Amino acid sequence: MPLITEMNLPVLPVENPDFQRDPMPYVDAARQRHPWLARFEQGYIVHGYQAVKDLAFMDDKLVMGLGHVVDFYQVRGTPWARFMLEMLQSHTGPEHARIRASVAQAFTPRRANRVRPAMREVIDGLLDEWSGRDGFDFAEFASYFPIAVLCGVLGVPTTGIPRIRNAIETHMASLTLDHKYYPGFLEAFDLLWDYVDELVRDREASGERDEDALLDALIAARDAGKLSDLELRDMVLVLLIAGYDTSKNMLTLTMYRLLEHPEYWQRCAEDIDFCAKVIEEMLRHSSIATVFRSVVEDFDYQGHRFPRGAMVAFSMPLANRDPAAFPDPMSFDPFRESETRHLAFGRGEHICLGQFLARAQLEEGLHLITRRISNPVLAGDIAWRPFLGAWGLSTLPIRFDVAA
């Protein structure tokens, strides 16, 4: 059985700005040499739909690979490294299930639907504030939306968002494996940790309890001995980070895509069910997450031996554009009929906790934005984020008319 370390695999230049702008020419060429596996500078990248789907279920062999990220920067022993190695995603099996159970009830489809009115309130408020301008950077606008919704779910004030926004961006940049972000992300983490610690202390001191506030449920779980004090804070931070950087990128990419499809804009304004179709196809066409796993035990898959210690990235954006799974993958078609579901939220034990909340807020956001602004056009140069971690647009300048 050939070892992947000894195979002559194609290389994907994920750090190249051209790749970040449009990875597909590189991936199409790589696919000619191997249908689903390639190398990148730090490890291996799985880009075939079926392979990502199969391997994502092998949670016992492929654990979350944040240890590779920590070692890339050689910062073991720092508070940031402790967080990376101990947070929810770094656990597996019963420990993972225990920690995840402490928040799972707040993320069911039922709860996501209950949060919809609050989502509408947040986006309406933001549009009141921003739509008076002739135009704005949509990426910046979108960055205030999902995190405000998440603060609502936690039951904490949104006034802290400006304080933590940049720090979350900097923390997330660490996932792109680029030394230029060191040591910035360590400092950003200290700021985030102080913020979360303050949130928890303030809530404890206030004595207030709200049965819908997730922070209160987490404090109660800690008091009942189901979570440690550290796990409570790790979880709040995980949620703030996850809630910030994913939906905002998806919403920005959705706006970008719809600039090319004005025929869908009016329809989104009229019909929220159509928004759901647009969002689902966006999650397929332009998903954002490339996540790291680490092989903890040798295993064989499709005639390949994966050795212990290898770093393997699952690339959802590339897997969702695999022509073997989705015919004509680069065509954006909200009416695509298929039982083959995209991998945007992953599979297996680490499947996205917030997938129903994310879908609901993307649908509600898109619906209200299309109702309140019209004729959006690109008003300047766009810029792409690094590919690894959470891909997307860092800048999307638009101009528009305010709908009557």
Q: Which residues bind other proteins (CB under 8 A)?
A: 57, 59, 97, 100, 104-105, 108-111, 113, 339, 341, 347-349, 351, 353, 355-356
**CA 376 to CA 126: how far, in whole Å?**
17
12 neighbors 30 (Cβ within 8 angstroms): yes
Residue 45, strand partner residues: 38, 313
Residues 328, 318 contacting (CB under 8 angstroms): no
Q: Which two tokens stand for residue 355?
A: 């997938």
Residues 6 or more apart whose Cβ sits within 8 Å of residue 6: none
Of the pair 131, 355, the CB lying nearest other proteins is at 355
Q: Could you tell me if residue 92 is left (phi over 0), alpha (psi between -120 and 50 degrees) or otherwise beta?
A: beta
Report in angstroms the alpha-carbon separations of 258 from 156, 251, 261, 264, 374: 33, 11, 5, 7, 11
Would you say how long the chain is, in residues?
Answer: 404
No. of H helices and E strands in the chain? 19, 13
Measured from the CB atom, the residue of 236 and 360 that comes closer to other proteins is: 360
| Range list of β-strands (E), 65-158 | 135-137
Going through 127-198 in order, the beta strands assigned E by DSSP cover 135-137
Residue tagged 């995209």 (tokens): 342
Helix (H, G, I), strand (E, B) or coil at 171: helix
Q: From the CB of residue 219, how many other CB atoms can be counted at a distance below 10 Å? A: 19
